[in-house]
């Protein structure tokens, strides 16, 4: 059998499975396929130039009448999404593009449009050129006990873990050490061979949003550790932190390296050298691969990282910026389409006591991401936190990175005034779809910042169906699937049985959300259907159900055995009233709603951490 490439460049066309995506492709554009790559589903598409230069502009062809979603860097550090239908809609600094290929090739006579880079707005800002002067903690962390030789950081970490039950402590540092790098003249730091370097940004970056960090560094310089010494720097820094009980590091400001490639073989070579050194040091000093990558949304970094598992998925949570909250949720979801294929996206922290806290918390719960808050001590919403965190401190984490549903891929839920954002994920026995109204704000190419473009976006109506969850049929765990599902709406508290292909309407105002727990129905006994839902008060209710098995008796009775984590009001669907319910072999009271088939059982707080209850429902 001859296997032909799925992506080809020939006769002036770039085609996918024989369908033209780009027309007018120049002769210097070619596709390369990896040898021995199985079915050859992918390709590297590149360009050749007649001469070597530090900056090239290539034309790849014409894109027309194909819907696309792309992720572009609106500033040096971060990506966000943009949708369009032609090549002229693709922004500068696009890192990823998803194109909807039509059934037939479109008009190939559309000419590409050459643009000049937009002018760069220069703004004044704070000075970010402070430089690292040592790898140990400064005087603010030093011990105040005259006869205590324990370093301040080590004592702080020990007390934090022992007295407050904190299991892991991470320390922040920049890729270059600090915002302004490592101070060349600092005592004890000379062996790192740090030298002042002056960042040079690419025209694509400067054509988007200026950054006050770069305003300072381009004038005052950055103390760049020589790449041949950067492993020593990371290793000594991380070894000291590990000796103080620190479990990992959050490495920020990573994309600064791309601006410092002159004299070091270029941006890719320098980025690769820094990441190899960073990952080697993390592997040596933090056994659990304790590293979070941040401010790193360029393909230089993303494709250079071989070991780093966790990556921040978007710009920061800005509690005081009303334009940022809907943008944050839409950005993390669409960025995860790309990042979630090879890393674990981190959707950032948020405040539990905040007007948008429920909105943020619901998204984190179904994002399959770590969940943490940056609350000021004493400023907490514990009712909200209890929807995210169990009494033992663990969370009901979804199994996958949360992504937009198929019907949302090419719509714009932040700007089009018509679309709701739907994010899907899977738990072990069910799925979940979160629906969010994200309209009203987005990154503006005119003013080059995130802003509110609609002060009063309208109420929107959309729909949810079981098939929004990819692979939902497999969640039933049996071949006996009628195709129906039950859907439990978290905020509304309603349970609905949906036939295959049926939809459920949802109406939301701006900054509103709803979570739909999608549970495949199983036939467990003659004329009896069943579906586990989970802990009804939790944002990710279905995450509490870790196993569902059915035992059938000779008298056509059946017992559904569930492994359940957590505590609170547990819900399941049963087409008729159960005979009895038991928890860890002891009979318990249960409720049954004859109108919708909802079975409820109160699960107490377990005495052990990460405990799994055995809940049996006899039907």
Measured distance CA(532)–CA(518) in Å, rounded: 10
Sheet holding 545-552, edge to edge: 545-552, 558-565, 612-618, 580-583, 586-588
Give yes or no for residue 300 having a pLDDT over 60: yes
Measured distance CA(432)–CA(544) in Å, rounded: 13
**Which pLDDT does position 65 carry in this prediction?**
87
Average pLDDT over residues 225-253: 98
pTM over cut 0.85: yes
The pLDDT confidence band at residue 591, using thresholds 50, 70 and 90, is very high
**Which pLDDT does position 103 carry in this prediction?**
55
**Which pLDDT does position 214 carry in this prediction?**
87
Give yes or no for residue 321 having a pLDDT over 50: yes
Nearest to 100 by CA among 8, 6, 16: 16
The pLDDT confidence band at residue 555, using thresholds 50, 70 and 90, is confident
User: Comparing 434 with 39, which gets the higher pLDDT?
Assistant: 434
The pLDDT confidence band at residue 560, using thresholds 50, 70 and 90, is very high
H/E element, 489 = strand 481-489
Measured distance CA(157)–CA(245) in Å, rounded: 6
Q: What is the largest CA-CA distance in the chain?
A: 84
Residues in the chain, how many?
619
8 A C-beta contact, residue 237 and residue 192: no
| Residues with Cβ within 8 Å of residue 498, at least 6 apart in sequence | 465, 466, 484, 485, 486, 487, 504
**Which pLDDT does position 113 carry in this prediction?**
38
Average pLDDT over residues 432-445: 97
Average pLDDT over residues 33-60: 80
54-58, 119-123, 192-196, 458-462, range with the lowest pLDDT? 119-123
Query: Of 15-24, 129-138, 207-216, 435-444, which one has max mean pLDDT?
Result: 435-444
**Which pLDDT does position 117 carry in this prediction?**
35
**Which pLDDT does position 101 carry in this prediction?**
83
**Which pLDDT does position 109 carry in this prediction?**
42
Instruction: Identify the residue whose tokens are 């980025």.
Output: 271
Mean pLDDT score of the chain, rounded to an integer?
A: 91
**Which pLDDT does position 477 carry in this prediction?**
62
């Amino acid at each position: 059998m001859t296997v032909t490439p799925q992506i080809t460049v020939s006769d002036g066309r770039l085609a996918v499975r024989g369908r033209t995506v780009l027309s007018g492709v120049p002769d210097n554009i070619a596709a390369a396929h990896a040898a021995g790559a199985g079915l050859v589903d992918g390709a590297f598409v590149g360009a050749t130039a007649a001469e070597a230069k530090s900056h090239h502009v290539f034309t790849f062809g014409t894109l027309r009448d194909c819907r696309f979603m792309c992720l572009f860097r609106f500033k040096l550090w971060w990506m966000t999404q943009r949708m369009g239908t032609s090549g002229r809609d693709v922004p500068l600094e696009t890192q990823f593009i998803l194109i909807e290929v039509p059934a037939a090739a479109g008009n190939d006579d559309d000419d590409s449009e050459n643009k000049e880079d937009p002018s760069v707005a220069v703004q004044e800002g704070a000075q970010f050129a402070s430089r690292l002067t040592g790898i140990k903690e400064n005087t603010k962390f030093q011990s105040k006990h005259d006869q205590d030789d324990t370093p301040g950081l080590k004592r702080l970490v020990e007390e934090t873990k022992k007295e407050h039950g904190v299991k892991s402590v991470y320390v922040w540092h920049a890729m270059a050490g600090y915002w302004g790098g490592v101070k060349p003249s600092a005592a004890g730091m000379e062996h790192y061979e740090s030298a002042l370097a002056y960042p040079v940004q690419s025209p694509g970056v400067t054509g988007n949003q200026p950054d006050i960090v770069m305003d300072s560094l381009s004038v005052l310089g950055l103390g760049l550790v020589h790449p041949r010494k950067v492993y020593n720097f990371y290793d000594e820094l991380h070894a000291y932190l590990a000796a103080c009980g620190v479990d990992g590091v959050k490495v920020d400001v990573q994309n600064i390296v791309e601006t410092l490639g002159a004299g070091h073989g270029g941006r890719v070579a320098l980025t690769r050298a820094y990441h190899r050194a960073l990952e080697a040091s993390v592997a040596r000093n933090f056994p659990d691969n304790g590293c979070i990558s941040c401010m790193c949304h360029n393909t230089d970094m993303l494709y250079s990282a071989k070991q780093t598992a966790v990556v921040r998925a978007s710009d920061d949570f800005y509690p005081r910026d009303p334009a940022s909250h809907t943008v944050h949720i839409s950005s993390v979801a669409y960025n995860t389409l790309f990042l979630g294929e090879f890393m674990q996206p981190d959707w950032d922290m948020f405040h539990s006591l905040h007007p948008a806290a429920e909105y943020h918390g619901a998204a984190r719960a179904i994002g399959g991401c770590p969940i943490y808050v940056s609350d000021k001590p004493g400023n907490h919403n514990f009712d909200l936190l209890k929807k995210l965190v169990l009494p033992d401190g663990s969370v009901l984490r979804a199994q996958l990175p949360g992504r937009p549903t198929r019907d949302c891929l090419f719509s714009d839920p932040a700007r089009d005034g018509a679309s709701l954002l739907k994010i899907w994920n899977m738990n072990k026995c069910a799925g979940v779809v979160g629906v969010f109204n994200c309209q009203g704000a987005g990154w503006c190419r005119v003013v080059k910042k995130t802003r509110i473009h609609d002060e009063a976006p309208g109420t929107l109506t959309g729909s949810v169906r079981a098939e929004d969850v990819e692979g939902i049929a497999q969640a039933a765990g049996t071949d006996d699937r009628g195709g129906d599902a039950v859907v439990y709406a978290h905020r509304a508290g309603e349970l609905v049985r949906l036939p295959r292909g049926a939809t459920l309407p949802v109406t939301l105002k701006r900054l509103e959300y709803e979570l739909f727990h999608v549970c495949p129905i199983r036939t467990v006994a003659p004329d009896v259907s069943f579906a586990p839902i989970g802990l009804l008060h939790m944002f990710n209710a279905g995450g509490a159900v870790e196993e569902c098995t059915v035992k059938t008796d000779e008298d056509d009775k059946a017992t559904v055995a569930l492994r359940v984590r957590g505590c609170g009001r547990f819900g399941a669907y049963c087409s008729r009233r159960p005979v009895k319910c038991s928890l860890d072999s002891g009979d318990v009271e249960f409720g049954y709603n004859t109108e919708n088939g909802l079975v409820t059982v109160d699960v107490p707080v377990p005495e052990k951490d990460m405990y799994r209850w055995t809940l049996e429902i006899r039907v």
